[in-house]
Structure 1
Amino acid sequence: MTLTTKARAALLGAALLLSSAAFAAPPATVRLDYLHTGNALNEQYAMDRVVIEPLPWAGKLSRNLDDTDRGVNRVEVVDAKTGDLLYSRGFSTIFGEWRSTEEAQKTSRGFQESVRFPKPDRPVKVRILKRDERNAFSVVWSVEVDTDAQDVVRKQEPAPAKPIPIRVSGPSPDKVDLLILGDGYNKADMAKFEATARRLADYLFSVSPFKERARDFNVWGLAVPTQESGVSRPSTGVHHASPLGTRYDIFGSERYVLALDNRALRDIAQHAPYEFIEILVNNDTYGGGGIYGQFSTAAANSDWANYLFVHEFGHHFAGLADEYYTSPVAYQSTGERVEPWEPNATALRDPAKLKWKHLVNAATPLPTPWPKAEYEAHSREYQKTRAALRKAIRPESEMSALFKEDLAYTSKLFSAAPHKHEVGAFEGANYEATGYYRPAQQCLMFDRSEKFCAVCSEAVSATIDLYSRDSR
């Protein structure tokens, strides 16, 4: 059913009113914008500004402290006098990914970042922590913040576009609020954006465990019109201006899509309730990306948009690692095999202490055999064909057909494997052929299949619990 503009506005107003009424005087939302600069060897932080966002805090105040232990970084908000911990969340950054590239070995760069938290009633210290090779966090930057200070930004320009209520299940503090942003949609594309956002949201909630927890989500849509349709793809000479600056070819990877203008992103997103963001780009070319606790992106017009939307959201929402390892990536391997913080990858130092051991059948061997050699032989030829198609700038339909052939081959190969339905430790994950292991032979984070494995599903469910009041 298509809502009229008036009906949408009424639903949005009712939802926000309901959110405010559910908790007497919910706190305001504070955003600390800062700069994160450096190179492969060092990094620095500098405060940019403190902003009071237009909407009240959308989160669940009873779960202000993050117990999921995910992310390369963690933000902590502590009482400036007592040191009491008031708020924490794990996250990762674009800078953290960039510093593992070849470019970071040669030069320094700066990236905009933000952390958001409910407005405290006292001065606080905001601390950024970083995880070391032993998976322990230590403080790398700390800044005192008085959210009542004169230089805090309290008044901003009106919303550049109105949020669209796509799925409203209840007050924001009780729900996970997902904001779907559009980039590369001109004025004539607005109806297309709304229809696509609704379709992809519906698909997300057809995939377990999102399916079973659909009532724990609110979903909003928001798109600021662009002059041209589509976002930039520099490798093909396409450059388009857009509010979010989303583009392909991030770090030299033709399929990697990110938005690098964090301030612009946050200034637009702040006009809708959100804890998580997925950006739809109005492009046909396969591509996407996801940064834990920041945002994810997906090519909305690709034949694989459903998969891209869910896979990339898995990175952003639950901190899931990529389980594939045969596709080229921009990151430089150090050769070290430290235990990943991601819930679905392991270095398997001690099988007896496997992080998902509780899901493993006692009879399943660790490591777990799978047709690895056959898979890799096929994948080498597949990747050659894929690279040739991109180099020749062949129609996207040919790339899509290749992806379908690859998935059909993999599914047939795996169907005869003895441990095809088991949770174990299958070597090959985290962009590495050896030394890292994934929980299942096949999963949505490994290939373009349609299901999360049990370990990924458990990680997704834990994140839903952190942000919602379970309504199952």
Structure 2
Amino acid sequence: MPVSPIRFLACALALAAAAAQALAQAPATIRVDYLHSGNALADTYALERVLVEPLTWPGNLAHNVDNTNRGQNMVEVVDPKTGDLLYSRGFSTIFGEWRSTDEAGKTSRGFHESVRFPDQGKPVRVRILKRDERNLFSVAWSVDVDAGAPEVIRKQGPAPARLIPIRVNGPSAQKVDLLILGDGYTGADMKKFELDARRLTDYLFKVPPFRERAADFNVWAMAVPTQQSGVSRPSTGVHHASALGTRYDIFGSERYVLTLDNRALRDIAQYVPYEFIEILVNNDTYGGGGIFGQFSTVAASNDWADYLFVHEFGHHFAGLADEYYTSPVAYQSSAARLEPWEPNVTALRDPARPKWKKHVVPGTPLPTPWPKAEYEAASRAYQARRTALRAANRPESEMSALFREDLARTNALFSTAPQRRAIGAFEGANYEASGFYRPEMQCIMFDRSETFCKVCEEAISEIIDLYAPHADKKQAVISK
């Protein structure tokens, strides 16, 4: 029997109220904003401000310590008197990506960053760790924080936009809270934003392992209206103002979409219980981006928005690496082949003990053969056509058609490969044609496929378990 809109809204509001009541029992959310600056060789940190956010802590206090070993950085909150670890989370940063670009070898830049943690009811020491050349974490910066100090910001204005409950499955402390923010949506576009958010959320939960764990998520949405539809795309002379400042052409890559205004992002997001953020931009030009522990983005009106949403969320949510290597990126290649921290790529220094050994069937050759030469030859031709289409500013429909053609050709090529369904070590990953390996021939992180490989699925499930440890498999209460 169909559910009436009024009954649906009442159910959503009731669940949201229950979640808010549960949050009221939680400690306050403390946010430390700081400036991270430097270049390819060195970096420095400086405290900007400490805030008590409007909402209490949304996380599970029984899982305050992160043991997943993800991220280029780690935040640790410790007792300065005893040294006891009170809270930790791995994350990566836009600065960390930028310092791998050519520009970082020529100049210095500064980036705004934030870390959030539950109030401990006493002064704490906040430490930012980063990985060293051994791939181990060491302290890069620390600052003592007293949430009761007079300079701490405690009161802020009202929320800048209406909160839309997309899926509410229970108290935030027992769920993963995903916030979908909109950018480039005018007041007249608000209904479209809600439809985009629901459509893309529904698709996310059709993809394993999110499908099986849908009941472990709450999804919220909010969009601050803009004066013009769409976000900035400087390479084509398009400049639009928005509260989030999301734009294309980040680090010179025409398809890379991020916001560099972290302060604005956090000041808007703080009015919603969240642990992860996906930004929908109201554009049809192919593009997106994702930073582990920060946020991900997607061009919501593009023909490939479903794929982009899931792929970029894989970066942001689970720290998955890109497995492709034939597309141009801003990253500057290095001769070094250190073992990546990302769970789905490896330098395969010891073929007898690959990173995902438990998934490899005995007898599988490592490295694992695949039609690499044929794939690369076809990809060179495809990339040339892609570049020409973008340079000529051809309609986006032609780019979408090229993507469909490329995926069909790849599927046909791989369909007869002997190791088509094997888990092994396939050379070509992490933006490099040689020296890095991926677990399977195909995956959402490799091309525009529809599923994650088994190694990526496991990596995603580990993060879900960190935030929603008492998983139940009941159907989501609210969907579309």
- Do both share a fold (TM > 0.5)? yes
- How far the C-alpha of 1:143 sits from its partner, in A, is 0.2
- How far the C-alpha of 1:356 sits from its partner, in A, is 0.4
CA distance in 1, matches of 2:50, 2:312: 29
- How far the C-alpha of 1:300 sits from its partner, in A, is 0.1
- How far the C-alpha of 1:127 sits from its partner, in A, is 0.1
Answer yes or no: is the 8 Å Cα contact 1:12–1:164 preserved in 2.
no
| Equivalent residue, structure 1, for 2:449 | 449
Answer yes or no: is the 8 Å Cα contact 2:100–2:331 preserved in 1.
yes
Answer yes or no: is the 8 Å Cα contact 1:19–1:173 preserved in 2.
no
- How far the C-alpha of 1:14 sits from its partner, in A, is 4.1
Q: Deviations over 1:10-32 (max 9, x none)?
A: 734642443533x7721011111
| Equivalent residue, structure 2, for 1:87 | 87
| Equivalent residue, structure 1, for 2:322 | 322
SS of 2:191's partner is helix
Amino acid of the residue matched to residue 95 of structure 2?
F
| Equivalent residue, structure 1, for 2:476 | none
Q: Deviations over 1:17-69 (max 9, x none)?
A: 43533x77210111111000001111000011111111111101110000100
- How far the C-alpha of 1:353 sits from its partner, in A, is 2.1
CA RMSD in angstroms comes to 1.5
Does residue 58 of structure 2 align to residue 58 of structure 1?
yes
CA distance in 1, matches of 2:467, 2:202: 20
- How far the C-alpha of 1:8 sits from its partner, in A, is 4.6
- How far the C-alpha of 1:261 sits from its partner, in A, is 0.5
| Equivalent residue, structure 1, for 2:414 | 414
CA distance in 2, matches of 1:183, 1:5: 28
CA distance in 2, matches of 1:345, 1:423: 12
| Equivalent residue, structure 2, for 1:385 | 385
Answer yes or no: is the 8 Å Cα contact 1:8–1:164 preserved in 2.
no
CA distance in 2, matches of 1:354, 1:163: 45
| Equivalent residue, structure 1, for 2:102 | 102
| Equivalent residue, structure 1, for 2:142 | 142
Does residue 238 of structure 2 align to residue 248 of structure 1?
no
- How far the C-alpha of 1:354 sits from its partner, in A, is 1.1
| Equivalent residue, structure 1, for 2:478 | none
Mapping of residues 418-433 of structure 1, within 5 Å: 418-433=418-433
Does residue 401 of structure 2 align to residue 401 of structure 1?
yes
TM-score (norm 2): 0.96
| Equivalent residue, structure 1, for 2:209 | 209
Amino acid of the residue matched to residue 297 of structure 1?
T
TM-score (norm 1): 0.98
CA distance in 1, matches of 2:125, 2:298: 35
Answer yes or no: is the 8 Å Cα contact 1:19–1:170 preserved in 2.
no
Amino acid of the residue matched to residue 259 of structure 2?
A
| Equivalent residue, structure 1, for 2:170 | 170
- How far the C-alpha of 1:363 sits from its partner, in A, is 1.7
Relative to structure 1, the CA distance from residue 407 to residue 25 in structure 2 (aligned partners, 3 Å threshold; closer, same or farther) is same
Question: What is the aligned length?
Answer: 471
CA distance in 2, matches of 1:404, 1:67: 39
Amino acid of the residue matched to residue 20 of structure 1?
Q
CA distance in 2, matches of 1:179, 1:24: 19
Amino acid of the residue matched to residue 319 of structure 1?
G
- How far the C-alpha of 1:134 sits from its partner, in A, is 1.6
Identical pairs, percent: 72
| Equivalent residue, structure 2, for 1:331 | 331
CA distance in 1, matches of 2:212, 2:387: 39
SS of 1:185's partner is coil
| Equivalent residue, structure 2, for 1:180 | 180
Amino acid of the residue matched to residue 404 of structure 1?
R
Relative to structure 1, the CA distance from residue 162 to residue 121 in structure 2 (aligned partners, 3 Å threshold; closer, same or farther) is same
- How far the C-alpha of 1:7 sits from its partner, in A, is 6.7
SS of 1:87's partner is strand
Answer yes or no: is the 8 Å Cα contact 2:18–2:170 preserved in 1.
no
| Equivalent residue, structure 1, for 2:369 | 369
Amino acid of the residue matched to residue 464 of structure 1?
I
Amino acid of the residue matched to residue 227 of structure 2?
Q
Does residue 290 of structure 2 align to residue 299 of structure 1?
no
CA distance in 2, matches of 1:455, 1:10: 37
Answer yes or no: is the 8 Å Cα contact 1:370–1:419 preserved in 2.
yes
- How far the C-alpha of 1:121 sits from its partner, in A, is 1.0
- How far the C-alpha of 1:2 sits from its partner, in A, is 9.2
Answer yes or no: is the 8 Å Cα contact 2:184–2:229 preserved in 1.
yes
- How far the C-alpha of 1:179 sits from its partner, in A, is 0.4
- How far the C-alpha of 1:285 sits from its partner, in A, is 0.2
Answer yes or no: is the 8 Å Cα contact 2:58–2:173 preserved in 1.
yes
Q: Deviations over 1:225-271 (max 9, x none)?
A: 00000000000000000010000000000000001100100011111
CA distance in 1, matches of 2:112, 2:172: 27
| Equivalent residue, structure 2, for 1:280 | 280
CA distance in 2, matches of 1:429, 1:39: 26
Amino acid of the residue matched to residue 11 of structure 1?
A
Relative to structure 1, the CA distance from residue 24 to residue 239 in structure 2 (aligned partners, 3 Å threshold; closer, same or farther) is closer
CA distance in 2, matches of 1:43, 1:145: 22
| Equivalent residue, structure 1, for 2:310 | 310
SS of 1:353's partner is coil
CA distance in 1, matches of 2:9, 2:43: 45
| Equivalent residue, structure 1, for 2:467 | 467
| Equivalent residue, structure 2, for 1:114 | 114
| Equivalent residue, structure 2, for 1:133 | 133
- How far the C-alpha of 1:333 sits from its partner, in A, is 1.1
CA distance in 1, matches of 2:314, 2:4: 29
SS of 1:148's partner is coil
Amino acid of the residue matched to residue 401 of structure 1?
A
Answer yes or no: is the 8 Å Cα contact 1:16–1:171 preserved in 2.
no
Q: Deviations over 1:269-306 (max 9, x none)?
A: 11111000000000000000000000000000000000
Mapping of residues 233-272 of structure 1, within 5 Å: 233-272=233-272
Where in structure 2 are there 5+ consecutive unaligned residues?
474-480
SS of 1:351's partner is coil
CA distance in 2, matches of 1:403, 1:225: 32
| Equivalent residue, structure 1, for 2:12 | 11
Relative to structure 1, the CA distance from residue 111 to residue 243 in structure 2 (aligned partners, 3 Å threshold; closer, same or farther) is same
Amino acid of the residue matched to residue 287 of structure 1?
G
- How far the C-alpha of 1:335 sits from its partner, in A, is 1.2
Amino acid of the residue matched to residue 123 of structure 1?
P
Relative to structure 1, the CA distance from residue 139 to residue 187 in structure 2 (aligned partners, 3 Å threshold; closer, same or farther) is same
Where in structure 1 are there 5+ consecutive unaligned residues?
none
CA distance in 1, matches of 2:243, 2:458: 36
Relative to structure 1, the CA distance from residue 101 to residue 3 in structure 2 (aligned partners, 3 Å threshold; closer, same or farther) is farther
